[in-house]
Amino acid sequence: MSAPFRDQAIHALQDEQLRENFRGAMDFLQGKRKAVFSDTIELENLRQQGHQIKAEALANLPELLEQLDSQCSKNGIQVHWAETPEQACEIIHGIIEQNNGKLAVKGKSMVSEEIGLNHYLEARGIECLESDMGEYIVQLAQETPSHIIMPAIHKSKSQIATLFNATIPDTPYTENVDELIGTGRRILREKFQKADIGISGVNFAVAETGTLCLVENEGNGRMCTTVPPVHIAITGIEKVIPRLSDLPPLLSLLTRSATGQLITTYFNLISSPRKPDEKDGPEAVHLVLLDNGRSRMYQHPELRETLRCIRCGACMNHCPVYTRIGGHAYGTVYPGPIGQVVMPQINGLDQQGEMTEGCSLNGACGEVCPVEIPLPDLIRKLREERVQPQPAESPVNGAGSHRTRVEATAWRFWRWVYQHPELYRIVTWWATRLGSMLPNRLGPWTRTRVKPVIARQSLHEIMRERSNQPD
């Protein structure tokens, strides 16, 4: 575990308010998910359906992306391709400049967080205001989201009241939730009316019809995509699905897994800009498709499973590590189990591979994943890739970066001993007799554990004595 991650995790564990906030929120979300998935047979059927749809989409990803591009273009949606975050930001900035935009309102989009869009636009004199209430709160606090579905879940009611009182002029301190929400809505509604550009994410992009699907509960997503004259949608290339008929099971899995809802309050299907006979909607719609390492993930036969994710956050809600340290301790856009798989592949195992060690491999994330991503297996695979002896043969960025000659030699020696029974007996005999000579400090092992006590006899010796068999 890297020093910053470890230090941040330790700091988070010492914050009782933070732990209380996350414990309460995760218990609440787990309970809601359990209530809407009370029929376990239906749940397993849905999971298998979701798995098959996303597996088919991955198997045909290049063709589906081409089909999506073609259908969107026929519908009047302008499609842009970005290989890197910098390219995506440049494309979006270029569209805003072409339309003389100065104010953008943004619906919830983790991909926009991934590319650092807000800071990029602000540095160029364009105000980019978050319109999702949770995102608005973390933007006011100059923080980053701590959860991919509920960005401000780390904050209590009193902390939000203090924040509003300190940062919004003429706002009295109140812990009345309705009044707090009303304050945020009043400010955001004014911005919606003045905004030149609306920016949103995409939950699913349907290749068959060129339709962009967006689900939300606050109505801000619909305002972002209909009120400003220009709408820019940004998404990762893995969000494409083959057919419109694939949406119902995926949406059912997404909303139930994310917030324990049978369906969200708003369900948007965007297939074109406003037509001449329509009264509302944007005059232009742009779709930015982001790669940012996803093609590299696609090349790995096992790690490509990462691209099945529908970003519901259920893995985080059930992760005992995430529940205790929260999202900010990871220091990455995507925290929790899915973050431990996604971020090291995007930024490289040499930069963020240590995240994979912040996992107890208890398996809860894999058990609740609505599209059956084997997250514990992927985390284990990434740990393996970190010590990969032939990194040139791996498509994973930073493979082999954690391999050390001492550790590799130790494991080769152990394999050699293990292959020779006589040698194994000699080594274990000496190890049991000299075990008491182990130093008290054994590096990372004794950082959080006591020194292991070596048995005075090996198991083989004990069993031989019990059975009175000659040595």
| Each residue's pLDDT tens digit, 61-91 | 999 999 999 999 999 999 999 999 999 999 9
Task: Check pLDDT > 70 for residue 114.
Answer: yes
User: pTM (2 decimals)?
Assistant: 0.90
Give CA–CA dist 259/257, Å, rounded.
6
Report the SS3 class of residue 296: helix
pLDDT of residue 471: 53
Task: Check pLDDT > 60 for residue 470.
Answer: no
Task: Check pLDDT > 90 for residue 241.
Answer: yes
Task: Check pLDDT > 70 for residue 2.
Answer: no
Instruction: Name the CATH superfamily housing domain 37-292.
Output: NagB/RpiA/CoA transferase-like (3.40.50.10420)
Give CA–CA dist 92/78, Å, rounded.
12
pLDDT of residue 245: 97
| Ranges for all domains in the chain classified under CATH 1.10.1060 | 1-36+304-403
| Ranges for all domains in the chain classified under CATH 3.40.50.10420 | 37-292
Give the range among 277-291, 332-346, 441-455 with minimum mean pLDDT.
Answer: 441-455
Mean pLDDT value across the chain: 94
Edge-to-edge strand list for the sheet holding 127-130: 77-82, 284-290, 230-236, 197-200, 103-106, 127-130
Portion of the chain with pLDDT greater than 90, in percent: 88
pLDDT of residue 312: 97
pLDDT of residue 205: 98
Task: Check pLDDT > 90 for residue 46.
Answer: yes
Tell me the pLDDT tens digit for each residue of 347-391.
999 999 989 999 999 999 999 999 999 999 999 999 999 999 988
pLDDT of residue 242: 98
Tell me the pLDDT tens digit for each residue of 190-217.
999 999 999 999 999 999 999 999 999 9
CATH of 1-36+304-403, one of 1.10.1060, 1.20.120, 1.10.287, 1.10.3470: 1.10.1060
pLDDT of residue 418: 93
Tell me the pLDDT tens digit for each residue of 129-171.
999 999 999 999 999 999 999 999 999 999 999 999 999 999 9
52, with CB counted inside 10 A (0-12, 13-18, 19+), is middle
Q: Are 51 and 308 in contact (CB under 8 A)?
A: yes
